[in-house]
Structure formats: C-alpha cells, structure tokens
Structure 1
Amino acid sequence: MRTMKRRLRAEFEERRISRPIAVRQRAAADLAEWVYSAPFRLEYDVTVAAYVPFGSEPGSPAMLDALTDRGVTVLVPVVPGGEPTALDWVRYDGADSLARGRWGLLEPIGDHLGPDAVRAASVVFVPAYAVDKSGTRLGRGAGYYDRTLTGLSADVVAVVYDDEVVDSLPAAAHDVRVGWAFTPDGGFRRLG
C-alpha cells in the first residue's frame, strides 16, 4: 500500500506542477471566493483551523483572509521539530504574520497554542493530494494531519483541485477520513 500511495502522490504532484501559474492563481481566487458561501456557520464566535498552501497546493493566504473577513478566529499549524506528531497551532493575523518555518512552509509568528488548540475548531481545512468520494484523503505521507485529526468532532474539509476528487483511494487503518471536499470550480461537496 505504501508503494501505491507513493506512486499516487508523485502522479498528483506532477499534474499539479504542470498546471500553468495563471490556472493556479485563478483557482486560489475561486477558493477564497467560495469561503463566502460556505455551508458552515462562520461568524465571530467560531474558530476554524486552516493552513497556508505550499508549492503546488491549491489556494493561497487569500482563503485565510476570507475566513478572517467572515469574523472567525483562524488557527494555522506549525510543524514541530523531531519525528512526526500532532501539529502545533498559532492564530493567523494576516499574511504579514507569516514566516518560513520547517521545510520552508509559511507558518504564523505568534504564541504557540499547542496541539490541543485545534479542538476549539468547528471546521478544519486540510491539504491533500486527492480525496475520494468516501472521504479517504491522500496526504503527503508523514501523518501529521492523521495524528492531529484523530478524535476531532469538527467538520474536516480537504482542499483539492476538482480533478483530485476521485472514486477511490487506498486507505490504511490509521487514515482519518474527511467529510468534505473543497474545490475551485465546485466549492464545498459533502463526501461519504
């Protein structure tokens, strides 16, 4: 199964890299716009966990800005040092509050709130290479998000390109399923 997942990751990454920059930028703008019609309650007393897209991942900080524009508190992960474990979280205070962290990822500067901070979130946006119709998510493979999402009651949303919502993906026992796909053309789509 690991070999199959590794092969799929490489295929999806290659497709992402081959997308023209203009297409990626349009997709990022579309995702940010979809936030305003999200099927979730996004108001002043709501906490949302999200992430800053990296490399060829769909989206941009504009999606985070759209969330804060809705009045919600946005938490963004910080990858802890050492072996893979649950992610740490910091409040997002705009694109100017981001700096390069581990592996060159953009991470927020601020007080670390700890791995349990994500439990306050009612919606969690997660990166994925692909998601299938039953909610199986294909991530990068280190397991940070599976460790983070275990036991959460939040709505978990995989952010992918439209052609990355597929019929089926291989799943291991520890893989945490997501309930939603979020795509540039289709917006929010319930899975399972």
Structure 2
Amino acid sequence: MRTMKRRLRTEFEERRISRSFPVRQRAAADLAEWIYSAPFRLEYDVTVAAYIPFGAEPGSPALLDALIDRGVTVLVPAVPGGEPTTLDWVRYDGADSLTRGRWGLLEPTGERLGTDAVRAASVVFVPAYAVDKSGTRLGRGAGYYDRTLIGLAADVVAVVFDDEVVESLPAAPHDVRVGWVLTPGGGFRELG
C-alpha cells in the first residue's frame, strides 16, 4: 500500500506542478470566494483551523483572509521539531505575520498555542493530494494531520483541485476520513 500511495502522490504532484500559474491563481481566488457561501456557521465566535498552501497546493492566504473577513478566529499549523507528531497551532493575523518555518513552510510568528488548540475549531480545512467520495484523504505521507484529527468533533474539509476528487483511494487503518471537500469549481460538497 505504501508504494501505491507514494506513486499516487508523485502523479498528483506532477499534475499540480504542470498547472500554469494563472490557472492556480484563478483556483485560489475561487476557493476564497466559496468561503462566503460555506455550509458552516462562520461568525465572530467561531474558530476555524486551516493551512497555508505550500508549493502547488490549491489555495492561498486569500482563503484565510476570507475567513477573517467573516469574523472567525483562524488557527494555522506550525510543524514541531523531531519525528512526526500532532501539529502545533498559531493564530493567523494576516500574510504580513508569516515567516518560513520547518521545511520552508510558511507559519505565523505569533505565540504557539499548543497541539490541543485545534480542539476549539468547529471547521478544519486540511491539505490533500486527493480525496475520494468516501472521505479517504491522500496527504503528503508523514501523518501529521491524521495524528491531529483523531477524535476531533469538527467538520473536516479537504481542499483539492476539482480533478483530485476521485472514485477511491487506498486507505490504511490509521487514516482519518474527512467529511467534506472544497474544490475551486464545485465549492463545498459533503462526502460519504
């Protein structure tokens, strides 16, 4: 199964890289626009966990800014040192507060709130290479999100390009399923 997942990750990454910059920009703008018609309550007293896209991942800080525009508190991950474990979380206060963290990932410079901070989130947006119609998510393979999502009561939304919603993906027992997908062309769709 590991070999198959590795092969799929490579295929999806190559497809993403082959998308032109204008196509990725348009997709990022569309994803941010969908936040204004989200099927979740996004108001002043809500906390949302999200991520800052890396490389050719779909999205941009515009999605995070749209969440802030809705009045919610936005948390984004900070990757802790050492072996893969659960993610740490930092409040996102805008693109100006970002700096390069572990592996060159963008992270806010604010105070780390701890791994349990994500438990306050009612919606969690997660990156994925692909997601299938039953909610199986193909991530980068280190397991940070699977470890983080265990036992969360939040609605979990995988953010992918439209052609990355597939019929089925290989799943291991430790893989945590997602309940929703967000794509640039289709918006929010419940899975399962």
When normalised by structure 1's length, the TM-score is: 1.00
The separation in 2 between residues aligned to 1:126 and 1:73, in whole angstroms, is 16
Partner of 2:39: 39
Partner of 2:170: 170
Cα deviation for residue 46 of structure 1 reads: 0.1
Deviations 1:76-98 (A, max 9, x none): 00000000000000000000011
Partner of 2:149: 149
Cα deviation for residue 135 of structure 1 reads: 0.1
Partner of 2:77: 77
Q: Structure 2 stretches of 5 or more lacking a match?
A: none
Q: Structure 1 stretches of 5 or more lacking a match?
A: none
The separation in 1 between residues aligned to 2:97 and 2:184, in whole angstroms, is 25
Aligned length: 192
- Provide the secondary structure at the position in 2 that maps to 1:40: coil
RMSD over aligned CA atoms reads 0.3
Partner of 1:115: 115
Cα deviation for residue 6 of structure 1 reads: 0.1
Partner of 1:129: 129
The separation in 2 between residues aligned to 1:38 and 1:165, in whole angstroms, is 19
Partner of 2:96: 96
The separation in 1 between residues aligned to 2:87 and 2:173, in whole angstroms, is 20
Partner of 1:180: 180
Deviations 1:160-190 (A, max 9, x none): 0000000000000000000001000000010
When normalised by structure 2's length, the TM-score is: 1.00
Partner of 1:189: 189
Partner of 1:18: 18
Q: Percent of pairs identical after alignment?
A: 87
